[in-house]
Structure 1
């Protein structure tokens, strides 16, 4: 960099540093002002023309551009700033910033080209109105810990957009806590929902930094139920928030509990230069360490005492909080440990009602939720958390989880419990994250036979486990893939210029059971396979060559995203030996993580050393704990509910530089009880459950008349369940409210709870027969052209139009296996019919292109054949179907209802009318009954399921935009899907 560039950079750095935390101001004036205190040559750069000239030749990675990227992004993301009423992350906001900077048009164009406005998703917030208090003016002093944490993230390589997004997301949490200096006590409770392995810790670290800056003086982090997870959380907070000076407190470097941690020696722990209290801020005193959970203080109870600068004033007074140290403890969710903390807090002299407390509950759906029956003694850990909340009236509770269902099912009327009454925040999917969606083909328009590793996530990343207990072919192949991808990482470090050690960790996870006996047997099997694999001999190379040519090379060719890919196995071969040595050169290629001291072969401590190993484990690796460098997963573990299964997805996370190498070996058919389940379908189902939940939250987060549509107490009915055997969470956590009404204007709705009893099936069939008999005699072809996808969906169907009142009468008479499922939709259809928002409905009965009699049934007195569809309920004893509809029918139905633009098909356009809905009929014959179809095509109506989907008119929305109405039922069993009742049926 030239001296001219260096001087310009120093000048702009000074200007932007002065504007940090402030509104945009006249740039030319700011440049001139800063140049006065610099060398005379700085004046040549103190005008906008010099800035323009520099931008014209700069690349997006230039240091000057990076400086401006950080500040522009902060202004872009600022939530409700005082200096503009524009919405964040919009072109209007950027224009407002440019206007306040007084920039010329040419400069604006250059900046916007190099630094486009980020349009990434932001958090979704469900919250009642709250008292605003968290503003820059409310800070006790200049913030200390948050700016340090923000700078640390930038130094670690976080993009400016990610740091700005975290700034906004953490503000959304902190501003919903109570003002720590308020004389009135209030206990706020909330829940933050992230994705599995998606960086939730970064969010609550930022919340903690801002909270202590604002005045919270006791922070309790409930760090999971296992020592290894608690220790991992403690280290992360010590390294990124607490800092070297607070850890040492004057002691020698070698006396630190991190003296053996490479990151400590490498200077990766945040440092303030001196104790924060010596810098005009305040210290953080650790009450727990990396190796030690909370212990009874006995005579050292004074360590919990809070010093007061003004003894006559309460601790929460600004005069005292400003100089009082904060206390931090990371505590395992264990009854004995929490009881010690509760006992010690009861002994301190500082009045507990004066202490502003923040409780962060990591993995809040595990152990924290009361699993005892309502009105009976609480479960052990829930009872201790309840005691903490009762004895600390200024405590704020914030739960963090990726599987929120247990938390939102908590009884809202239980004031001593952890129900998130004040806010529920859904974090956006972070950039670069690899989650459940990345292993499934959701909403893909490519037919099964046309899917490739380029257009199918499943074909790229998922491999079936098809061997039995006597055959380890798939396990051997997974281990081969582990070695092969290790060689690929070494190759990329070398050839790709990433540098030695870029991939610090490389791991494979084998997860089949929680039983230590199974782990012992697995360890012996895997060790035997490893020793007989011959990775450096001709037999091993032959297997690896085949795997490279048939799997790794085809996937990486289209999904490497710029990472280096060898042209042949011969080019990769020389890295295989070093890879196998790095994994098993010490004779121990396996680490067993299960608490069995006789079996554990090492420690999965990713903080102390690089780990290139195969991990075998169960519960310890099933929740919260981050398995670094995870590339190959071999998974056969069953679970009875979605929350538990989703948390086992350790293969979710950030895979920078090796996303194309990730492989999931999954047991497609596993036995659970008396039911054979497909684990791949199970993960797809919970992915759909999760996305439906987040989508609903987003819809209901929109304000109506300046007020929230829903409160967190009204969230439980939004939880969906796609597989009958895979309930959202364990039954003893499922308390509920009743969903009264769902307004679904222009949305595809697909009921699935059709009856099983013959008399109910016959009843429903008789209701629909008049519709079938009134349809046209010959099918007509309908279609919809999706220009953005370049796809045309066409199908043949019989059709007719029916008055809205007739359809409503039919809907009211239908019978259901689960009576609660359809009434919320029925109330909406009744509402729009009575209000004149729907005149009629088009009923479509799709017909197969083939005229084969095997695909038709004869129904009614007219002896007319109709196409039938083969669908099955998703479990042997469950009443619910999975997906019923065919995607190619949806575009036409949406167009008829006015939810899509012109179809490009005259036949479809002929059915379009104002205030018209669409119904698609699917006569279903389940597999078990398909043999009942007679040679004449007839079938008893008690063996036919008359399924349907519907799209209400897109114009049939409420006047104020409200989409839901609820009746809350507290302390009652789940009203949506009673699993116990299903199991008894």
Structure 2
């Protein structure tokens, strides 16, 4: 406590806000109560408070940041007046309850802006609420410690509040650990590749053990290094020094025998401290059954390690009288057959207590090894081992009737489509939670211009993506120079005030092949190239200077990070970078073995090695679970036909604080896939983009259907497979006699962009479709009109209106390569035209292309039109078909946006009118007749549409499913022979 005005006010505000509890109240009254005894003469006026905020009082701002953010993020609080979380409306409600004046509100908004970030998306079955805010607050020892640890690491209050919310969403869907009846819940949490999923499951673990879960089993990857990294993270940020020491004296060497971290981990002082053994502080201890260096071998103290002392012996362990006084046990185990077999064997020897033991199983990278996949061909190897791991997880669940299973992954399709023939498997039947993209994360949007289909190079590609080849040949030397150059830029920034922790590690990943012999040759090539590069001689400096001027200086960060204006300023730091890279025997590490030997190299332990500045050459083992810290340059030309394998290769995704502008991806643009007669050339960058589009669409679909309608979920996890199958047609139940029991009937999409992509490939079917559009083509104006909305780009198009009946007649007659992709949307359009009709008519817009490669042609005697060029991305599916600059006019016409268009657009706006973009698309050079007419079988008549908001009533679910076997509504899958559809 201090006697300065700011110190006094901080004390009063701290007490007042703590007294309010979880809701904002009349602040002046609570502040007066807090000041009554200790500071009766304190100035509690808003003017002093406001002046301290404006002057930047860090402690006072931090206090209000914590509380305002917590109120901003609260989900449906009873005091919130139905205001949405993380909005200006919610903040206004908070200020009203605090009774703050206008000027103080402005100052607080300036000091603590509303974090308008998305929350987690939750797809859930109905469940019985038990994890109330009151119950969570009553027992929060480990969560509070973890929360403080995140603050110490520099997490913002918004990031902590987001994690609090997302981890709560998981815990509240687990079974109440105190309830008398045993029940298992199974769920899946979907994050982004290298996006901090560990932080979420650490938060879930903290909240779960606070709530009463007393055994936590974390399945921490398939490598000893990955398991040890997960163990260390939990030890450092959750379990803490006192639980690790278990009473040992850090000043007594003899008592520290067998204690990890003390003396050999420079970060030991950063491990959480609880201020004493938790059991002496009114909480409970955590006992580790695995350590940093030792995976599970057997129960360390024999079976007694899982004996729980009951305060009331006549009651079960899950009774509150016993549960909250018992120590928790944590195991971090490798997903390995021998390890899990030993654990299952030991648990079988324990009788009685297992049925009373609330258990949480966390499965990190849950789509790896854990899944009995529904499509074995998509896995490159190891199907027997994966089946074994899956069986052992099922045995764990069978032995522990109160166990809850939560899988974590960034590539969810394998989990969502787990072999449905085994209904006792780990299918996430209870919940599926999609985490939001974290702040500061570099992901797909930073490397791919997903909305740009015009064929040109977009901003993201210009900044970060380079081809493997240029006019001079292979660009590996350039990539190596870029690695040295970015290392020098990091040294420059560290010397100019950027925290050096951002540059602790600096790495380059070279990924060309899965063949070990090729890795050895490639490592030799890079080493030779390194020694001949002459980076510290005039010719080397000339190359680096040229690369700096043409590639790095033009894209230097504009957010305040120091960047030299000329190469001469950077030149002194090149030597520093080269020395760090060459340290320890050379620049290259090969990581490709099936054994653990590769991963025992010190330079691969990013936690315990102070500075890793290396070039990593490897294959599959670098693609899964293993985080390459400090990754700045990637040279990637590995080809694969496995979608999830390709997605996991996105090691270049992650957090790049202080150097995101320096990240470069050299990726194959024309790579050969397959061999011999089956060989084909693919654009690896586009192939990766196609997978990313599927991921983004999957997340968008989940977000769209997550809101409750009349208190009930629109979609449950069991209904996800047919929903996602619209754009992943390869997903099917594995057994020929099996089928998903949920059939998607209708998708309502008022005001939402809908873009089918599953067009047929056969010329006769394309001709059939083209002919169906004749009545629409006849309705288009001969003269083009110029369309624009707001400050957006203008373009010319031929337009016309057709009745809803005319359009739906066309759509009903179309043929599709995957009919199920469009049929739910067609059902919606047909329903919207029934009495009373909700759609009157449609504005059809056919944009005129301006590309120099455009081809003009007549179609069925109408036109001329310009033909758009598009390519299919997977099988019969196209990628994006419509161009972003064309969509605005359609969205405005259908009333989906408020921004007004030009007169040509506004004349078409009607309350019950939809809009449709129609593109005559060609995939290769079209055949034209003498009068310029295109062959109907060469054209894909592609379209996108947006229906008016009048097309669906309020309070109705956006999706409608039908149970194929209505007698088994809760079954995920049924026997095909049992149905008559």
When structure 1 is superposed on structure 2, of 483-492 and 89-98 the one drifting more is: 89-98
CA contact under 8 A between 1:689 and 1:719: conserved in structure 2?
A: no
Instruction: Give the alignment of 1:70-469 within 5 angstroms.
Output: 70-87=66-83, 88-138=85-135, 142-253=139-250, 254-255=256-257, 256-259=259-262, 261-265=264-268, 267-297=269-299, 300-371=302-373, 379-410=387-418, 414-443=422-451, 448=456, 456-466=459-469
Instruction: Give the alignment of 1:580-729 within 5 angstroms.
Output: 580-595=578-593, 602-609=602-609, 610-673=611-674, 674-719=679-724
When structure 1 is superposed on structure 2, of 757-766 and 728-737 the one drifting more is: 728-737
Rate the CA distance shift 1:51–1:768 in 2: closer, same or farther, 3 A: same
Rate the CA distance shift 1:782–1:234 in 2: closer, same or farther, 3 A: same
Instruction: Give the aligned partner of residue 253 of structure 2.
Output: none
Listed one character per residue, the Cα deviations across residues 227-272 of structure 1 (whole Å, up to 9, x for unaligned) are 221111111001101111111212354532223543444x011111
Pair 1:941-2:936 in alignment: yes
In the comparison of the two structures, how many residue pairs are matched?
946
Instruction: Give the aligned partner of residue 744 of structure 1.
Output: 749
Q: Structure 1 residue 226: deviation in Å?
A: 2.0
Q: Structure 1 residue 101: deviation in Å?
A: 4.0
| Local SS of the residue matching 2:523 | helix
Rate the CA distance shift 1:904–1:812 in 2: closer, same or farther, 3 A: closer
Instruction: Give the aligned partner of residue 871 of structure 1.
Output: 869
- Distance in 1 of aligned mates of 2:753 and 2:156: 38
Listed one character per residue, the Cα deviations across residues 419-447 of structure 1 (whole Å, up to 9, x for unaligned) are 11221111111111111111122336999
Rate the CA distance shift 1:11–1:462 in 2: closer, same or farther, 3 A: same
Q: Structure 1 residue 622: deviation in Å?
A: 1.0
CA contact under 8 A between 2:801 and 2:842: conserved in structure 1?
A: yes
- Distance in 2 of aligned mates of 1:843 and 1:22: 53
Listed one character per residue, the Cα deviations across residues 639-663 of structure 1 (whole Å, up to 9, x for unaligned) are 3233222221111111111111111
CA contact under 8 A between 2:868 and 2:919: conserved in structure 1?
A: no
Please report the TM-score for the alignment, with normalisation by the length of structure 1.
0.89
| Local SS of the residue matching 1:232 | helix
Rate the CA distance shift 1:379–1:792 in 2: closer, same or farther, 3 A: same
CA contact under 8 A between 1:902 and 1:909: conserved in structure 2?
A: no
When structure 1 is superposed on structure 2, of 698-707 and 893-902 the one drifting more is: 893-902
Instruction: Give the aligned partner of residue 983 of structure 1.
Output: none
Rate the CA distance shift 1:934–1:209 in 2: closer, same or farther, 3 A: same
Q: Structure 1 residue 461: deviation in Å?
A: 1.0
| Local SS of the residue matching 2:914 | strand
- Distance in 1 of aligned mates of 2:849 and 2:350: 77
Instruction: Give the aligned partner of residue 779 of structure 1.
Output: 783
Q: Structure 1 residue 394: deviation in Å?
A: 0.8
- Distance in 2 of aligned mates of 1:73 and 1:921: 46
- Distance in 1 of aligned mates of 2:615 and 2:3: 52
- Distance in 2 of aligned mates of 1:893 and 1:75: 38
- Distance in 2 of aligned mates of 1:142 and 1:624: 33
Rate the CA distance shift 1:6–1:176 in 2: closer, same or farther, 3 A: same
Listed one character per residue, the Cα deviations across residues 706-756 of structure 1 (whole Å, up to 9, x for unaligned) are 2221111112234368799xx689989998554221112233322222222
Q: Flag structure 2 segments of 5+ consecutive residues without an equivalent.
A: 251-255, 377-382, 965-970, 977-981
Listed one character per residue, the Cα deviations across residues 2-21 of structure 1 (whole Å, up to 9, x for unaligned) are 96157326614741673485
Listed one character per residue, the Cα deviations across residues 732-790 of structure 1 (whole Å, up to 9, x for unaligned) are 999855422111223332222222233322322332234334544x22213022x2xx2
Instruction: Give the aligned partner of residue 575 of structure 2.
Output: 577
- Distance in 2 of aligned mates of 1:730 and 1:263: 50
Q: Structure 1 residue 80: deviation in Å?
A: 3.5
Q: Structure 1 residue 155: deviation in Å?
A: 1.2
- Distance in 2 of aligned mates of 1:56 and 1:770: 66
Q: Structure 1 residue 131: deviation in Å?
A: 1.1
Q: Structure 1 residue 955: deviation in Å?
A: 1.8
Q: Flag structure 1 segments of 5+ consecutive residues without an equivalent.
A: 976-985
Listed one character per residue, the Cα deviations across residues 452-489 of structure 1 (whole Å, up to 9, x for unaligned) are xxxx1211111111179xx9841111111111111111
- Distance in 2 of aligned mates of 1:864 and 1:55: 71
Pair 1:803-2:800 in alignment: no
Instruction: Give the aligned partner of residue 967 of structure 2.
Output: none
- Distance in 2 of aligned mates of 1:544 and 1:461: 18
Q: What's the C-alpha RMSD, in Å, of the aligned pairs? A: 3.2
Instruction: Give the aligned partner of residue 550 of structure 1.
Output: 550
CA contact under 8 A between 2:375 and 2:734: conserved in structure 1?
A: no
Instruction: Give the aligned partner of residue 979 of structure 1.
Output: none
Q: Structure 1 residue 569: deviation in Å?
A: 0.9
CA contact under 8 A between 2:468 and 2:667: conserved in structure 1?
A: yes
- Distance in 2 of aligned mates of 1:925 and 1:935: 19
Listed one character per residue, the Cα deviations across residues 834-853 of structure 1 (whole Å, up to 9, x for unaligned) are 2311223333444456999x
CA contact under 8 A between 2:216 and 2:359: conserved in structure 1?
A: yes
CA contact under 8 A between 1:11 and 1:31: conserved in structure 2?
A: no
CA contact under 8 A between 2:857 and 2:867: conserved in structure 1?
A: no
Rate the CA distance shift 1:142–1:828 in 2: closer, same or farther, 3 A: closer
Instruction: Give the aligned partner of residue 475 of structure 1.
Output: 476
- Distance in 2 of aligned mates of 1:896 and 1:954: 11
Instruction: Give the alignment of 1:553-568 within 5 angstroms.
Output: 553-556=553-556, 559-568=557-566
Rate the CA distance shift 1:752–1:974 in 2: closer, same or farther, 3 A: farther
CA contact under 8 A between 1:741 and 1:827: conserved in structure 2?
A: yes
- Distance in 2 of aligned mates of 1:499 and 1:948: 51
- Distance in 2 of aligned mates of 1:924 and 1:690: 25
CA contact under 8 A between 1:593 and 1:604: conserved in structure 2?
A: no
Q: Structure 1 residue 700: deviation in Å?
A: 1.0
When structure 1 is superposed on structure 2, of 744-753 and 962-971 the one drifting more is: 962-971
Rate the CA distance shift 1:273–1:111 in 2: closer, same or farther, 3 A: same
Rate the CA distance shift 1:956–1:49 in 2: closer, same or farther, 3 A: closer
- Distance in 1 of aligned mates of 2:937 and 2:872: 20
- Distance in 2 of aligned mates of 1:892 and 1:80: 36
Rate the CA distance shift 1:56–1:297 in 2: closer, same or farther, 3 A: closer
Q: Structure 1 residue 152: deviation in Å?
A: 0.7
- Distance in 2 of aligned mates of 1:744 and 1:516: 50
Q: Structure 1 residue 815: deviation in Å?
A: 1.6
